[in-house]
Protein backbone atom coordinates (compact mmCIF):
# COMPACT_ATOMS: atom_id res chain seq x y z
CA UNK A 1 0.00 0.00 0.00
CA UNK A 2 1.71 3.16 -1.18
CA UNK A 3 0.68 6.56 0.08
CA UNK A 4 1.14 8.97 -2.77
CA UNK A 5 1.35 12.20 -0.84
CA UNK A 6 4.30 11.06 1.26
CA UNK A 7 6.40 9.21 -1.24
CA UNK A 8 8.48 10.86 -3.90
CA UNK A 9 6.76 11.51 -7.13
CA UNK A 10 8.81 10.27 -10.05
CA UNK A 11 8.75 11.52 -13.57
CA UNK A 12 8.45 9.06 -16.43
CA UNK A 13 12.20 9.37 -17.11
CA UNK A 14 12.95 8.52 -13.44
CA UNK A 15 13.72 12.03 -12.18
CA UNK A 16 12.72 13.22 -8.74
CA UNK A 17 10.09 15.90 -8.99
CA UNK A 18 9.32 16.90 -5.37
CA UNK A 19 9.23 15.67 -1.79
CA UNK A 20 6.29 16.48 0.46
CA UNK A 21 6.38 17.29 4.19
CA UNK A 22 4.65 15.64 7.13
CA UNK A 23 1.87 18.07 7.99
CA UNK A 24 -0.40 16.14 10.35
CA UNK A 25 -0.48 13.34 12.90
CA UNK A 26 -1.99 11.07 10.25
CA UNK A 27 0.84 11.91 7.84
CA UNK A 28 3.34 11.02 10.54
CA UNK A 29 1.67 7.66 11.19
CA UNK A 30 1.60 6.94 7.47
CA UNK A 31 5.29 7.91 7.21
CA UNK A 32 6.02 5.49 10.06
CA UNK A 33 4.20 2.65 8.30
CA UNK A 34 6.10 3.33 5.09
CA UNK A 35 9.42 3.29 6.95
CA UNK A 36 8.58 -0.17 8.24
CA UNK A 37 7.65 -1.41 4.75
CA UNK A 38 10.53 0.11 2.76
CA UNK A 39 12.97 -2.38 1.28
CA UNK A 40 15.11 -0.27 -1.05
CA UNK A 41 17.81 2.13 0.17
CA UNK A 42 16.46 4.82 -2.18
CA UNK A 43 13.04 4.55 -0.62
CA UNK A 44 14.55 5.05 2.84
CA UNK A 45 16.39 8.15 1.60
CA UNK A 46 13.14 9.58 0.28
CA UNK A 47 11.46 8.96 3.63
CA UNK A 48 14.38 10.54 5.46
CA UNK A 49 14.07 13.60 3.22
CA UNK A 50 10.35 13.89 3.95
CA UNK A 51 11.06 13.74 7.67
CA UNK A 52 13.93 16.23 7.44
CA UNK A 53 11.86 18.76 5.46
CA UNK A 54 9.07 18.66 8.04
CA UNK A 55 8.99 21.09 10.95
CA UNK A 56 10.71 19.38 13.90
CA UNK A 57 8.60 21.24 16.45
CA UNK A 58 5.38 20.11 14.77
CA UNK A 59 6.66 16.54 14.48
CA UNK A 60 7.39 16.49 18.20
CA UNK A 61 3.91 17.84 18.90
CA UNK A 62 2.37 15.08 16.75
CA UNK A 63 4.49 12.51 18.59
CA UNK A 64 3.36 13.82 22.00
CA UNK A 65 -0.32 13.67 20.99
CA UNK A 66 -0.21 10.05 19.83
CA UNK A 67 -1.46 7.01 21.74
CA UNK A 68 0.97 4.63 23.38
CA UNK A 69 0.72 2.10 20.52
CA UNK A 70 1.28 4.82 17.94
CA UNK A 71 4.30 6.08 19.89
CA UNK A 72 5.78 2.58 19.96
CA UNK A 73 5.43 2.33 16.18
CA UNK A 74 7.02 5.78 15.75
CA UNK A 75 9.89 4.97 18.12
CA UNK A 76 10.88 2.04 15.95
CA UNK A 77 10.39 3.99 12.70
CA UNK A 78 12.30 7.09 13.79
CA UNK A 79 15.15 4.93 15.07
CA UNK A 80 15.22 2.94 11.83
CA UNK A 81 15.02 5.89 9.45
CA UNK A 82 16.60 8.78 11.33
CA UNK A 83 18.86 7.18 13.93
CA UNK A 84 19.13 7.15 17.69
CA UNK A 85 20.01 10.85 18.10
CA UNK A 86 16.77 11.95 16.45
CA UNK A 87 14.84 9.37 18.43
CA UNK A 88 16.47 10.66 21.61
CA UNK A 89 15.28 14.20 20.80
CA UNK A 90 11.69 12.97 20.39
CA UNK A 91 11.77 10.94 23.58
CA UNK A 92 13.34 13.88 25.41
CA UNK A 93 10.62 16.19 24.12
CA UNK A 94 7.92 13.73 25.20
CA UNK A 95 9.55 13.30 28.62
CA UNK A 96 9.77 17.05 29.11
CA UNK A 97 6.12 17.38 28.12
CA UNK A 98 5.05 14.69 30.61
CA UNK A 99 7.14 16.26 33.36
CA UNK A 100 5.62 19.68 32.69
CA UNK A 101 2.11 18.23 32.88
CA UNK A 102 2.97 16.53 36.15
CA UNK A 103 4.54 19.70 37.55
CA UNK A 104 1.52 21.80 36.61
CA UNK A 105 -0.90 19.27 38.10
CA UNK A 106 0.97 19.05 41.39
CA UNK A 107 2.08 22.66 41.77
CA UNK A 108 -0.20 23.57 44.68
CA UNK A 109 0.35 20.27 46.44
CA UNK A 110 4.09 20.65 45.98
CA UNK A 111 3.91 24.10 47.57
CA UNK A 112 2.15 22.63 50.62
CA UNK A 113 4.69 19.83 50.83
CA UNK A 114 7.51 22.35 50.44
CA UNK A 115 6.17 24.44 53.32
CA UNK A 116 5.87 21.33 55.47
CA UNK A 117 9.40 20.29 54.55
CA UNK A 118 10.78 23.74 55.39
CA UNK A 119 9.00 23.65 58.77
CA UNK A 120 10.30 20.15 59.47
CA UNK A 121 13.78 21.23 58.42
CA UNK A 122 13.64 24.16 60.83
CA UNK A 123 12.37 21.86 63.61
CA UNK A 124 15.12 19.41 62.74
CA UNK A 125 17.76 22.16 62.91
CA UNK A 126 16.45 23.21 66.32
CA UNK A 127 16.54 19.61 67.55
CA UNK A 128 19.96 19.14 65.96
CA UNK A 129 21.35 22.15 67.81
CA UNK A 130 19.89 20.78 71.06
CA UNK A 131 21.45 17.39 70.41
CA UNK A 132 24.77 19.03 69.54
CA UNK A 133 24.76 20.86 72.87
CA UNK A 134 23.83 17.65 74.70
CA UNK A 135 26.54 15.82 72.75
CA UNK A 136 29.13 18.45 73.67
CA UNK A 137 28.07 18.25 77.32
CA UNK A 138 28.26 14.46 77.27
CA UNK A 139 31.64 14.62 75.52
CA UNK A 140 32.95 16.96 78.22
CA UNK A 141 31.54 14.70 80.95
CA UNK A 142 33.05 11.66 79.24
CA UNK A 143 36.42 13.45 79.03
CA UNK A 144 36.20 14.31 82.74
CA UNK A 145 35.28 10.71 83.59
CA UNK A 146 38.15 9.43 81.42
CA UNK A 147 40.57 11.83 83.14
CA UNK A 148 39.24 10.74 86.56
CA UNK A 149 39.56 7.11 85.50
CA UNK A 150 43.14 7.69 84.30
CA UNK A 151 43.99 9.39 87.61
CA UNK A 152 42.40 6.53 89.58
CA UNK A 153 44.22 3.96 87.44
CA UNK A 154 47.51 5.76 88.12
CA UNK A 155 46.72 5.95 91.85
CA UNK A 156 45.80 2.25 91.94
CA UNK A 157 48.94 1.40 89.98
CA UNK A 158 51.09 3.49 92.34
CA UNK A 159 49.44 1.91 95.40
CA UNK A 160 49.84 -1.55 93.89
CA UNK A 161 53.53 -0.87 93.31
CA UNK A 162 53.80 0.40 96.88
CA UNK A 163 52.09 -2.76 98.15
CA UNK A 164 54.45 -4.87 96.09
CA UNK A 165 57.42 -2.94 97.50
CA UNK A 166 56.07 -3.33 101.06
CA UNK A 167 55.54 -7.06 100.52
CA UNK A 168 59.10 -7.33 99.26
CA UNK A 169 60.36 -5.35 102.27
CA UNK A 170 58.23 -7.56 104.55
CA UNK A 171 59.75 -10.66 103.01
CA UNK A 172 63.23 -9.22 103.51
CA UNK A 173 62.39 -8.28 107.10
CA UNK A 174 60.94 -11.72 107.67
CA UNK A 175 64.15 -13.27 106.36
CA UNK A 176 66.17 -10.89 108.53
CA UNK A 177 63.96 -11.81 111.51
CA UNK A 178 64.55 -15.48 110.88
CA UNK A 179 68.31 -14.92 110.75
CA UNK A 180 68.19 -12.80 113.90
CA UNK A 181 66.09 -15.41 115.64
CA UNK A 182 68.52 -18.10 114.55
CA UNK A 183 71.44 -15.93 115.62
CA UNK A 184 69.79 -15.20 118.96
CA UNK A 185 69.11 -18.84 119.42
CA UNK A 186 72.69 -19.68 118.59
CA UNK A 187 73.99 -17.02 121.03
CA UNK A 188 71.74 -18.39 123.77
CA UNK A 189 73.00 -21.83 123.08
CA UNK A 190 76.57 -20.67 123.31
CA UNK A 191 75.94 -18.74 126.51
CA UNK A 192 74.27 -21.65 128.18
CA UNK A 193 77.13 -23.96 127.72
Q: Give pLDDT tens digits for 30-78.
A: 999 999 888 787 888 889 999 999 999 999 999 999 999 999 999 999 9
pLDDT at 14: 38
What secondary structure does DSSP assign to the chain, as a single string? ---TTTSPEE-TTS-EEE-PPP-SHHHHHHHHHHHHH--SHHHHHHHHHHHHHS-HHHHHHHHHHS-HHHHHHHHHHHHHHH-HHHHHHHHHHHHHHHHHHHHHHTHHHHHHHHHHHHHHHHHHHHHHHHHHHHHHHHHHHHHHHHHHHHHHHHHHHHHHHHHHHHHHHHHHHHHHHHHHHHHHHHHHHHHT-
Number of domains the chain is built from: 1
Ranges in the chain, pLDDT < 50: 1-5, 7-18
Domain assignment of residue 136, yes or no = no
Q: Is residue 143 part of a domain?
A: no
Residue 1 lies in a domain: no
Q: According to the model, what pLDDT value does residue 110 have?
A: 74
Domain containing residue 66? 9-105
At 77 the pLDDT is 92
Identify whether 179 is part of a domain. Answer: no
Q: What is the pLDDT of residue 107?
A: 86
Predicted local distance difference test score (pLDDT) of residue 10: 41
53 within some domain: yes
Domain-embedded: residue 84: yes
Amino acid sequence: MEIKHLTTAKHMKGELIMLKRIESKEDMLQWSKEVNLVCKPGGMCDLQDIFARSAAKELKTYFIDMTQNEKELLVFSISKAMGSNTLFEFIKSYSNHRVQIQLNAESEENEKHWSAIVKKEMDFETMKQGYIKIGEKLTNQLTDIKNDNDTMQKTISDQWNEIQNKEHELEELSEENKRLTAFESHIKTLLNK
